[in-house]
Structure formats: C-alpha cells, structure tokens
Structure 1
C-alpha cells in the first residue's frame, strides 16, 4: 500500500488510497512539524521530537523554541504518554499504511556519563583490567546506538577520564595492559579531552611513550591510525611545544610516521600524519633532513597527484616547510615531479593550496637551482601568476608573486611560452 506524508495549508496529512489522514497537532514536533518518534519534554513543559530539539540545543540556542523562555536546564524528559498515544494512533491506522513507531531506547544521560567516568578512573588506578574492559565496552556500545549518546558521552568529561586512565595504566608498563591502552586510544579519537587537565595527562612522558609505542605497532593498523590521530589532536592543542619535543625524543617515531605516508592506512590517518610531520619538521631542521633522506618527498608528491582538497593542502604544507632549508630545496628539485605538480596545483585546489604552492615555488626559484625557474616558466606558471595578480588574489603574499613574475619575465620571451589566449582558464576557485 502506497503511503506518504504531505504538507498542505499548514496541515500535515497522510495519503493512502485516496484516504486523507490528518496527524493530530499534539503528535507533531513544533520544530520539524513531523510526527514525533521520540517525544521529550523540556523544563518549559513543551514537547518536541528528541532529534529536532537535540539539533536546536547543539546549535548553541538556550531558549525554548515555542515559548522563547531561557532554559533552566537542558534535561530532556521522555514523554511516555504522548509516545503511547502516537503508537496507538499508528496501530489504529495500520490499514491505511501507517507503520507503528517503535519504542525508542532510553538515551544515556550526563549523570550516567559522570558515573562511568568516576568508575573508569578508579578502575585504572588499581589496574582492574576486567572492570575497565567492561566499562569501555558498555560505553562504546552506548555511543554506537545513537549520535545523541555519542555527543553526550564526549561532552561530559569522558575524554578527560580516558586521559587519566591512559596515564595511570601507562605507569604500570605491563604487557597485559596493551589491549586496554588500545581501547582507550580508540575512544580518544572521538572523545578527545576538552579541558587542560586531560591534555596535560596525555602530554606526560609516560603517556607519550605509550602513544609512540602504539604508533610503531607494525602489525596493528587500527592502533597506528588511532595513535597518529590522537597525536595530531594533542599537538594541535599544545601551545608550548612540549608534545613535539617529547615525541621527537622517542626513537622510531620518525620511521613510524614515514611508513604511514609510504603505505597509507586510510585518508584520515594520512592527513593526521602529514599534520604531525609538518609540526615536527618546522620545529627541527634535522628531523626534516632525516625524513627527506628516508625518501619522504616522492611519497608526498604521489599524494599530491590525486589527493582531495584537504590532503593536498597538508601535503603542500609539508613540501613548503621542507624547502625552508638548502638541503630540502635541493632534494625537492631533484624530483622531476616537484615543479610540475606545484604549478598544476596553483588555482586548482583552494586558496590555501595556491598560497602554499606559490610559496614553495618562490623558495625553489629564488634558491640555488635556476632550472626550477626555467621549468616553471615552460609549464605556464607565469600565466597563472599573472592571472592571480590581475584578479587581486594572493594579497597576503603579493611580494612573492611580484618576485616570481619579475624573474620569470626574463625567460618568457626566450622560451616563447607566453600565450595570451590562455586567459583565465586556469581559474578554479574554491567555495
């Protein structure tokens, strides 16, 4: 039996075999105007569908959509009476194709999350592996049930409890704790601590050693992915550079990061790895040189060939940082793909990618190797840079643009590469 919902003249109706069913007003969510599947009541006494009011509150609003009153709290109380009435209405209209709305699972509350956090920390302090495993499993299953549960868990201190538990277990250094450490690390990828206390615990020497240990777990791709993602978040949250210093002092980290770029695990891990590498090589030139000697540049260029916008920007940032040093520029120039890919990415990916590509070309062309300048001109870089200057893009690095255009203009007539018919065809601006 065909069945559909239709809005008409302010009413929502169900159409089935030419029979029109009007949904009772009090069964409809005031926000979405759809039949409520999980009705919940705010402190103002107004009932909404949970998904709709969740989105309203998550967007930062602090008032009741109907009454406009400031909410005393954000508790969502299940309205069992309305839900039962809606289910009965659905059953009564089953012959018209209306399906009964199933009874929703009771979502986790912030009070339950607080209790889980306290028990998790207590279990970690005494290394109670069985209890820790049970709590982690229950929380993971709850997070998988719904996005609401996942958001509630992440927003109520779970990340900080995980960080404290991770540090506590790290101090035992027991082999039988490894699986638990992996579980905690996995949970940290979606509930990274928002407070400084949690971040400080993950920045401790013992925690960083365990993160590095799991980063180097060659036979466990999942742990390596989780480790590099947590490390990226940790470095991004670190203002003093303690994490970078701590990680660079651990043997094998550079090789582990290089392997993730060389043999990709997944796009998420690749992006995180590029961010970590860029922080490290920006901090220490010797780290950059060691990674270049391992063969990093060819794999970064390979990523640029068909990478998406986000990964291209991160790969270009790494190349740009590598080219800060004379040895880095020499290594980049030795690869036949470097200049062609840099020229290709100008005006093709995003404003950020264009700026990074121009910055890198500037370093290469003003460096010790004149061939980079000649090759860039031959590949049409002059035309692209001229277009950028004409349309007013690249205001933040206009000096570099001007320098490059002056240098390239010396070779333009000699190489006879300028074709005014090319016009603006290179322009592909990002949204």
Structure 2
C-alpha cells in the first residue's frame, strides 16, 4: 500500500521546471505492512498486542472492544482477556523508520504515555476517600491534581475516569471540605470543580452530595468571586446539576445572590461556553415551577430582558437558542412582557430570528411573539403594529409553507389572525420580497 506522504521535487530552468516547483512530480513512500494497524491500515502510533498475538494500534482496538466485540479482528478468536500489552520493540522500529524518512515529510510519532487503567482510577479514588475522611486537604489536592493531569492526556483517560465512580468520590470530597470551611479549602474546591465539569452526569449519590446546601453555598460563593476560571467551572457544574432534578433548583433558591451572579456572567462574558451554561442555568431556574415566579421577578428587576436582547444582536447559534428560551420563560410574567414591550429591539430581533438560526430558535421566537401579541392590552395594538412593520406577516406565511409541527402551527395561525386585524394600518406585504436566502428547517 502507498502512503499519503510525498516529497516534492524542484527542478531548474524553463517552464517544465516551473511545473515541478508547483508539485506535479512527487515521490511516493510505501509504509511497511508490519507497521500498519490491521483495522485501519494506517501507521500505528501506539502498537499493543492482544493475547492472540496480533498487534493493533491501541486506539483502534479499544474502539473495537468498546463496541462490544468479543473476538480478535484478525483471527476471530474469542478473547478471554482484553489485556493490551505495549509492543515496545515494534513501536521503536516505527519511530526509527519515521526518522529515516523525515526528508519525505514523515513526522516521528511521539512515545505514547501509558494509559490509565480502572485499577489506577479505583486506587486513587480510595485514597481520596481516605483523605476526605481525615480532612487532609494537602493529600486530597495532590490526588485530585493527578486525576486532572490524567484527564488532560487523552479522551481515553477521561472515559476511564468517568466510568469508574470518580464523580461520586469527588462530589463527596467537595461536600465534606465545603462543609468544614469554604475559605480554608478554596484551592481544593476549585480543583474538584474543574474535574467535575467533564464528569457529568453523576450517580444519584453524587447528585445528592453536590446538591447539598453546603455544596451549593460553596459554588455560589465561588460564582461571586473574581476568579474567572472558578466562575466558569461553577456555572458549568450548576448547569449539569440543575438539569438532573428540580429539587436542586429548589435548594438553590434558598441561597442569596444567585440571580445576580448568573446575570453578571452574561453581562461580563468569560467565553461562549460559560455564557451558554449561564443562560441554561437561568432557563432551569425560571422554568414553570413553584418558585419560578419569584425568581423571574428578580431577573426582570436586574434588567435581564434588555441584556438578552442586546446579546441576540450578534449571538452565535447556541447562545441565540438559549437566550430566546430564557426570554420565552420570562414573557410568561406580566413584568417580563412589560419590559419586552418597552424595548425597541424586541420586535425587529424576534422577527429577524424566525427561519434564520435553527428550528429551535424559530420555535422560541414564535412562542415569544405569540405571548406578546396575545397579551397586549393596549388599545392601539402597538406591539402588533411593530411586528407588522418588521415583516412578521411574511415570515409567518413562509413558516407555514415550509412546514411546522401542530403545536407551532396553531400558534402561527392564531398570530396571523391577530395580525390580520391591524394589516390595514401598515403596508406590511411587499410583493417583491425575496425569501430565497431564508434558512429553512429541512
């Protein structure tokens, strides 16, 4: 087989040489079959040998085994053991071959790190549990740092860490040290939160520990701190926690300063990932429930409606969808709708987002428009006129044409009826309007 590595030759003089400089003449290199993985037929980077004696690239054979295959791909023998023994001799031969052919553009493969095993993870989790019981912050910090380093090495390590109960152990450690003293153990709490951001979802026991009053107090305390990394990690963990059970939302509601801290994450964004997590957390907090009304009122007081509308001006898809979702929940309240009516950006932005971002963004935008138009009690029908002037009538007609589900279709039909009552006040239909640039949900 022929590899994709080629060496370009450059000649001298004349048009023919100019063509050679453009790479028309190339030298091909054959990769020895011994160096190829039997699964992918690519050059092996980390050769390992199964008990059947066949060598594969570690990433490929692990993917094969994780797909619930119980046999050796080459011999078709049933594997009584999934042990993978590093083939150091072959790896050294591959590296030497790469060095010999470096003039052809072949890069030397790095010496792979030994991957983490379930025994390594179980051992370090046991030591963290012991350190937690003793209240030994120094030892626990070192062990959590080790897990953090393992996770940075490879996705394979992360999967191994996640699948062997690490989340519950770290949640227990976070709860225990937060209960003792937040200020005293702040460095450890930050490290645990960093690891927890990629360990969700947790088991039931881990959820209980991380959703405790002491743990939530610590997270809100860190969310109010000036440490940008800690604030980002907190909001990522909160997003994951609130999505698991409504009881965590109820527990969070008992802590002062939560709305202020979440709004600040949007007003002073750290990164798109943190902004999306903050909007998602707010969405869970104000979604219809026994406590949503109080939370919604506080978010409205903090100016979240104007903040969301400003965010929507040039937001990316993920942020736009979440921002519209939050605004849809806020518009369930009278205070939220009043703030939306007052803002001149509301109608132009909502109409513009229909059929432009995604099916989910369109659904939220239509839902918000429906709530605003249906509940507008002013005699002059100001918000409906604004929507007509922004071109909503045409957009809704196109939406019906391209298709939508029954629930959305009902809202669109009702909206069109409301809008039709005021069409004579606005010249809203432009026969020259070209819809070919609209992004359709199919």
TM-score normalised to structure 2 length: 0.87
The Cα of 1:151 is off from its aligned counterpart by: 2.8
Equivalent residues of 1:167, 1:207 under 8 A apart: yes
2:132·2:177 contact (CA, 8 Å) conserved in 1?
yes
- Pick one of 248, 265, 268 that aligns with 2:270: 265
Counterpart in the other structure of 1:122: 130
Query: Quick check: 1:38–1:83 contact (8 Å CA) kept in 2?
Result: yes
Secondary structure of the 1:48 match is strand
Residues 71-115 of structure 1, C-alpha deviation per residue, up to 9 Å, x if partnerless?
Answer: 556543312232233234445656766554342221221211111
CA distance in 1, matches of 2:104, 2:353: 58
1:190 Cα deviation from its structure 2 partner:
1.5
**2:48 is paired with a residue of what secondary structure?**
strand
Q: Deviations over 1:17-49 (max 9, x none)?
A: 787653221210123212212102345543221
Q: Is the 8 A contact 1:39 1:48 kept in 2?
A: yes
Q: Could you say what secondary structure the match of 1:167 adopts?
A: helix
1:136-147 equivalences in 2 (<5 Å): 136-147=144-155
Q: Which residue of 2 aligns with 1:236?
A: 243
Partner of 2:14: none
Structure 2 counterpart of 1:221: 228
Task: Look up the match of 2:37.
Answer: 29
- Could you report, residue by residue, the CA deviation over 1:218-246 in whole angstroms, capped at 9, with x for unpaired residues? x21211111111000001122xx110000
Partner SS state of residue 306, structure 1: coil
- Name 1:350's counterpart in structure 2: 358
Which of 398, 401, 410 lines up with 2:412 in the alignment?
A: 401
How far apart are the structure 2 equivalents of 1:408 and 1:67?
70
2:424 maps to 1:424: no
Range 380-389 or range 283-292, more displaced: 283-292
C-alpha distance in 1 between matches for 2:235 and 2:243: 12
1:165-212 deviations in Å (ceiling 9; x for gaps): 111212212532111111111111122353222112111222122112
Question: How far apart, CA to CA, are the structure 2 residues paired with 1:138 and 1:53?
Answer: 26
Q: Hey, what's the Cα distance between the residues in 1 that align with 2:195 and 2:85? A: 28
Which residue in the other structure is 1:182 paired with?
Answer: 190
Show the 5 A alignment for 1:156-171: 156-171=164-179
- Of 111, 132, 142, which aligns to 1:103? 111
- Deviation, 1:413, is 3.3
Contact 1:214 / 1:227 at 8 angstroms: preserved in 2?
yes
CA spacing shift, 1:319–1:93, aligned 2, 3 Å: closer
Does 36-45 or 88-97 show the bigger shift? 88-97
SS at match of 2:150: helix
Q: Is the 8 A contact 2:194 2:233 kept in 1?
A: yes
Secondary structure of the residue that 1:317 maps to in structure 2? Answer: helix
Aligned CA-pair RMSD: 2.4
Change in 2 beyond 3 A, CA 1:205/1:42:
farther
Structure 2 CA distance, aligned partners of 1:71 and 1:427?
Answer: 54
Look up the match of 1:295. 303
User: Is 2:389 the partner of 1:384?
Assistant: no
